[in-house]
Amino acid sequence: GENVEQHPSTLSVQEGDSAVIKCTYSDSASNYFPWYKQELGKGPQLIIDIRSNVGEKKDQRIAVTLNKTAKHFSLHITETQPEDSAVYFCAAPYNNNDMRFGAGTRLTVKP
């Protein structure tokens, strides 16, 4: 089955710096890779996703890159702001049905 590993578990950056979070997955058949942001007391919110037919996708300050050969994908946040502080989860599909999540990265953006 799908196994998703996420690093780092915590990340602290200064406001304005970039943050990068990395995930690896095990199932080479996986073809969809979402990233979720979870703020305190809330459910995971989809912030960006990528399908396996592209290598990079960008949405304003957020980008995701995918390397299918190496089976890893990364979240890039540029010009970080304090409101970016949250826990970020990567995920990959299992059996084209449910999602398997990484362990999460707690991002802290210091003003």
Partner 1 sequence: EPEVTQTPSHQVTQMGQEVILRCVPISNHLYFYWYRQILGQKVEFLVSFYNNEISEKSEIFDDQFSVERPDGSNFTLKIRSTKLEDSAMYFCASRVGRTVYGYTFGSGTRLTVV
- What is the binding site for partner 1 (CB under 8 A)? 32, 34, 36, 41-46, 49, 89, 93-104
Distance in Å, CB of 104 to partner 1, minimum: 6
CA distances from 41 to 35, 70, 100 (A): 18, 34, 21
Q: Are strands 86-94 and 32-38 parallel, antiparallel or unpaired?
A: antiparallel
Q: Which is nearer to partner 1, 29 or 70 (CB)?
A: 29
Q: Which is nearer to partner 1, 93 or 107 (CB)?
A: 93
Distance in Å, CB of 31 to partner 1, minimum: 9
Question: Phi/psi zone of residue 9: left (φ > 0), alpha (ψ -120 to 50 degrees), beta?
Answer: alpha
